[in-house]
Amino acid sequence: MALQLQDVSRRWRRVTLTVAMAAGTVALSGCSASLTEQAKRIGMVPPASSRAPYMERLWQGAWIAAGVVGVIVWGLMFYAAIKWRRKKGDPEVPRQTKYHLPLELLYTLIPLMIVGVLFFYTVRTQDKVLAKDPVPQHTIHVLGEKWSWAFSYMEADNPKVGAVVHTVGSLQQRPDLYLPLGESVRFNITSADVDHSFWIPAFYFKLDAIPGHPNSFDLTPTRLGTYDGKCAELCGTYHSQMLFTVHVVTPAQYYQQLQQLKAAGQTGDYQGLLAPSTIQTANAQGAGK
Ligand SMILES: [Cu+2]
């Protein structure tokens, strides 16, 4: 009897161990897959826009270039420090070399080459990221205003909405920006007062909101979800609270949200709380900047 009980307990231990190992393997493999992905992105959040992959590749390339330069520089430093360390009988000060022309040319040309390569890839990426969609499916006007954001959806010609509708945020109420998954959106960005910067980290995109100087970019949201948006330009006292929430939803949910705004009477292209004369005075005084 005692032997039988021992057998059962041993079997149970084996079963428990097997289940624990299987669970551990599953947990670790899941963990390592997401860790591998995170490591590949070198600290960036998972991308959620059609323009993000270009930025991601530039980011990875810049780190690889920095890594290669770092390894070569550290290698040369350690090599020189070890090979030419002071030995017995060496003079107090080693031989001084000045005006070594080939060497000076080399360390002028190498940084120029590095800057040239980085410049080439930056311009190439910028062209792709800023490329305009010939016919964007949606246009949204973004207005930065101390200290929140307003979003006007230009859907007057779209029979599914039939009006321009808007959302206005405030310090007390963080605004929501709704975007349809897989449909191209043009953002026209401006400011009612000082310089702000419209930034959605998950889209790998930000652009300045400058009073009197509209900026514009196009992209297509590629992943459903809720993302943080923020102001990336130190614009004044409550800059850190200039936050908004981005919802990438299905086109049906997008139209539903816009219909709700229309029903609530939030129609028209929102121009800001400040009258133009106030804006000019504020700009002349350089308020908050
Ligand atoms: Cu701001």
CATH number where 252 lies = 2.60.40.420
Q: Is the pLDDT of residue 278 over 70?
A: no
Task: Share the mean pLDDT of the chain.
Answer: 87
* Residue 63 Cα to ligand 1 middle (Å): 29
- Specify if 233 maps to a domain: yes
Clarify whether residues 170 and 216 are in a common domain: yes
Q: At what angle do helices 52-83 and 101-130 cross, to 10 degrees?
A: 160
Kind and range of the H or E element at 22? helix 2-41
- Specify if 10 maps to a domain: no
Clarify whether residues 231 and 193 are in a common domain: yes
Clarify whether residues 164 and 271 are in a common domain: yes
User: pLDDT value at position 38?
Assistant: 84
* Residue 190 Cα to ligand 1 middle (Å): 11
Q: Averaged over 88-115, what is the pLDDT?
A: 89
Clarify whether residues 201 and 280 are in a common domain: yes
* Residue 217 Cα to ligand 1 middle (Å): 18
Q: Is the pLDDT of residue 110 over 90?
A: yes
Q: What is the separation, in whole angstroms, between the first and last Cα of the chain?
A: 85
Clarify whether residues 126 and 191 are in a common domain: no
SS3 of residue 96 by DSSP: coil
Q: Among 157, 165, 160, which residue's Cα sits nearest to residue 269?
A: 165
Residues 102, 276: Cα–Cα separation, whole Å: 61
Clarify whether residues 268 and 173 are in a common domain: yes
Q: How confident is the model at residue 86 (pLDDT cuts 50, 70, 90)?
A: confident
DSSP-assigned beta bridge partners for residue 166: 152
Clarify whether residues 68 and 156 are in a common domain: no
Q: Is the pLDDT of residue 27 over 80?
A: no
User: pLDDT value at position 282?
Assistant: 44
Q: Is the pLDDT of residue 284 over 80?
A: no
Q: Which two tokens stand for residue 47?
A: 């991308």
- Specify if 37 maps to a domain: no
* Residue 212 Cα to ligand 1 middle (Å): 15
* Residue 6 Cα to ligand 1 middle (Å): 70
Sheet bearing 225-231, strands edge to edge: 176-180, 243-249, 225-231, 196-200, 205-209
Q: Averaged over 168-178, what is the pLDDT?
A: 95
Q: Averaged over 213-230, what is the pLDDT?
A: 96
Clarify whether residues 70 and 155 are in a common domain: no
* Residue 288 Cα to ligand 1 middle (Å): 10
Clarify whether residues 118 and 147 are in a common domain: no
- Specify if 46 maps to a domain: no
Q: Is the pLDDT of residue 47 over 80?
A: yes
Q: Is the pLDDT of residue 259 over 90?
A: yes
How many distinct structural domains can be found in the chain? 2
* Residue 208 Cα to ligand 1 middle (Å): 9
Q: Averaged over 170-187, what is the pLDDT?
A: 96
- Specify if 156 maps to a domain: yes
Clarify whether residues 144 and 233 are in a common domain: yes
Q: What is the pLDDT of residues 140-169, one digit of tens each?
A: 999 999 999 999 999 999 999 999 999 999
Q: Which two tokens stand for residue 263?
A: 């029903």
* Residue 135 Cα to ligand 1 middle (Å): 30
Q: How confident is the model at residue 33 (pLDDT cuts 50, 70, 90)?
A: confident
Q: Averaged over 77-93, what is the pLDDT?
A: 90
Residues 32, 163: Cα–Cα separation, whole Å: 48
Q: Among 242, 246, 269, which residue's Cα sits nearest to residue 148?
A: 242
Q: Is the pLDDT of residue 276 over 70?
A: no
DSSP-assigned beta bridge partners for residue 145: 148
Q: Averaged over 264-289, what is the pLDDT?
A: 62
Q: How confident is the model at residue 173 (pLDDT cuts 50, 70, 90)?
A: very high
* Residue 197 Cα to ligand 1 middle (Å): 6
Amino acid at 196: H
DSSP-assigned beta bridge partners for residue 131: none
* Residue 151 Cα to ligand 1 middle (Å): 15
Residue 256 CB neighbour total at 10 angstroms? 13
Q: Is the pLDDT of residue 274 over 90?
A: no
Q: How confident is the model at residue 84 (pLDDT cuts 50, 70, 90)?
A: confident
Residue 35 contacts by C-beta under 8 Å, 6 or more apart in sequence? none
* Residue 240 Cα to ligand 1 middle (Å): 8
- What is the span of the domain harbouring residue 115? 52-87+95-130
* Residue 62 Cα to ligand 1 middle (Å): 28
Q: Which residue has the higher pLDDT, 96 or 77?
A: 77
* Residue 272 Cα to ligand 1 middle (Å): 14
Judging by beta carbons within 10 Å of its beta carbon (0-12, 13-18, 19+), is residue 150 exposed, middle or buried? buried
- Specify if 22 maps to a domain: no
- Specify if 109 maps to a domain: yes
Clarify whether residues 166 and 105 are in a common domain: no
Clarify whether residues 148 and 101 are in a common domain: no
User: pLDDT value at position 202?
Assistant: 97
- Specify if 243 maps to a domain: yes
Lowest mean pLDDT among 19-33, 68-82, 170-184: 19-33
Q: Is the pLDDT of residue 187 over 80?
A: yes
